[in-house]
Structure 1
Amino acid sequence: MPFSPETPPASRRAYSLLALLLASVAGSVNAISFFSLGTHTSHMTGNLANVGEYLANGKWTMALTAAQLVLSFLLGAMTATVLIDVSRRRQRGRHAMALLVEVLTLAAVGIWSTKHPAAKEPTMLWGLCFAMGIQNALVTRVSGAVVRTTHMTGVVTDIGIQLVKMMTWVRDGARGHGVGGLVWMLRKLPTAEQFARTRLHLGLATSFLLGCTVGPLLLFKFGPAAMAMPCGVLVLLVLLDVSPAGAYVPMTPGT
């Protein structure tokens, strides 16, 4: 598993970089889609809830619209899984195909929006949900279902759990050693191996928030061309993935 203590440090750093950058992409896409189209597209909880609520109110057309977003996300996840399975035996570039499809999808939505700034085509939302489905499935497969980048509910939950564990670890280690023991444990905390996942999750939440902030700022200033920012990050990840120096280590068989 890429984020387990048994994984070499260099590999963990590579996968962490992938996850952090993708979290910023998801945050920016989610915020841009909300401000420009009125809907979040990086997580499906609200959209799936909307399907049920609209059905309960007899709003069949709106229920169908919400269901289409969920289906688009699902198709994106399926697409990423197929592309990862096809590429799993490559020496490098194992994630490049899925990332490129995500880039092309986001770029197509951005270009269409630039040429038709007043349009509210449902296909634009479908494309954004499809792209986020690709990304979520990619990170889920790569991390062994440890990391998500398109929604933060689980990440924030894990941060809360780990913060309590960290406080307990410091308390137990410092017990009987006074203030000096407490200071010593606090100094060890940033490099404690058992809390590596906590640092990653804190980074994911921060990256997602950064994307949610920068994306709208670029949208307000440059319009739909703001989609160039997440596309640029994804292109960078593709280049890192295919380059000999920056390629990620092989995925665990069966992931």
Structure 2
Amino acid sequence: MRVLRHLTARHRTRATNRALGLMLAFNAGAMNAGGFMAVHMYTSHMTGFLATLADSLVLGEIGLVLAAVGALWAFMSGAGTTAILVNWARRRRLCSSYALPLLLEALLMLLFGLLGALTMQWPTPFAVPLTVLLLAYMMGLQNAVVTKMSSAQIRTTHMTGVVTDLGMELGKMLYPNRPGTPPAGRVRANRERAQLFASLLLLFVVGGVVGAAGFKYVGFVWVVPQASLLLGLSLPPLIADARLLRRPAPRR
């Protein structure tokens, strides 16, 4: 419980940011790949939806335009929800500022896992079923959590920036420094950052394999163990806050 509490606590360290980031990268990969098996769309990265929006406007495919707008709106709404929850908890000096959005994501994942077959048939004004909007909303929630806790140094739901940063660090490693160059002028790679980016990529891919296999062989219920993991991460700070709120106020 103490370890889990530190992973999602208000006060952050590089170690806890890294550990939580890796866990959530695995979760994002699993949800992204499993979601694709369910709805045939990748709902974690918005670049593709923006490109779809532009192409569909030119081609006059209104259904695809509405689908892209819906996914973008859901993702931004999830990120906005995280900002509201985190800042609300910070104002009240709660331990659970980052645990609250993860708790919400876990509950939505349980909803997706238990009612996924029904939500796939639930129509929306955006020409896509509710499942697509739900997945995009959850990815927005999670991406904003990691962004806020790490000051935008770690991303988990889309890997474009991670691949770019890893490529830059590899380029620095391969850069031929001339003999006699003073230490201040040498090009040096940050091996710790390179290791972090490589780990994020690996966990995202492993999560994708697990998510795709889980949906293929088990169905929507494969999400329940993942939701249980997020619940385990989010509950300890919430329990700590509940204990603090139950304490009687000091007498004056």
Is the Cα contact below 8 Å between 2:119 and 2:130 reproduced in 1?
Answer: no
* Structure 1 letter corresponding to 2:48: G
Taking the aligned partners of 2:220 and 2:89, their CA distance within structure 1 comes to 32
Report the CA distance between 1:81 and its aligned residue.
Answer: 0.5
Taking the aligned partners of 1:161 and 1:234, their CA distance within structure 2 comes to 32
Taking the aligned partners of 1:13 and 1:110, their CA distance within structure 2 comes to 31
Report the CA distance between 1:232 and its aligned residue.
Answer: 2.4
Report the CA distance between 1:172 and its aligned residue.
Answer: 4.9
Where do 5+ consecutive residues of structure 2 fail to align? 1-11, 124-128, 181-187, 241-252
Equivalent residues, number: 216
1:196 is aligned to 2:199: no
What is residue 147 of structure 2 aligned with on the other side? 140
What is residue 180 of structure 1 aligned with on the other side? none
Equivalence map 1:111-130=2 (5 Å)? 111-114=114-117, 116=118, 119=121, 122-130=129-137
Equivalence map 1:94-243=2 (5 Å)? 94-114=97-117, 116=118, 119=121, 122-168=129-175, 172=177, 194-239=190-235, 241-242=237-238
* Structure 1 letter corresponding to 2:197: H
What is the root-mean-square deviation in Å for CA atoms of aligned residues?
Answer: 2.4
Percent of matched pairs sharing the same residue: 34
What is residue 60 of structure 2 aligned with on the other side? 58
Report the CA distance between 1:120 and its aligned residue.
Answer: 6.8
* Structure 2 letter corresponding to 1:128: L
1:35 counterpart SS class: helix
Equivalence map 1:1-16=2 (5 Å)? 11-16=13-18
1:47 is aligned to 2:46: no
Q: Normalising by structure 2, report the TM-score.
A: 0.78
Where do 5+ consecutive residues of structure 1 fail to align? 1-9, 177-191, 245-255
* Structure 1 letter corresponding to 2:139: M
Taking the aligned partners of 1:241 and 1:17, their CA distance within structure 2 comes to 16
Structure 1 residues 23 and 165 mapped into 2: Cα distance closer, same or farther (>3 Å)?
same
2:15 counterpart SS class: helix
| CA deviation vs aligned residue, 1:9-49 (integer Å, no higher than 9, x gap) | x9211111110011011100100111111011111111111
Taking the aligned partners of 2:173 and 2:203, their CA distance within structure 1 comes to 22
Taking the aligned partners of 1:224 and 1:47, their CA distance within structure 2 comes to 24
| CA deviation vs aligned residue, 1:137-175 (integer Å, no higher than 9, x gap) | 11111111111100001101111110122344xx659x6
2:218 counterpart SS class: helix
* Structure 1 letter corresponding to 2:24: L
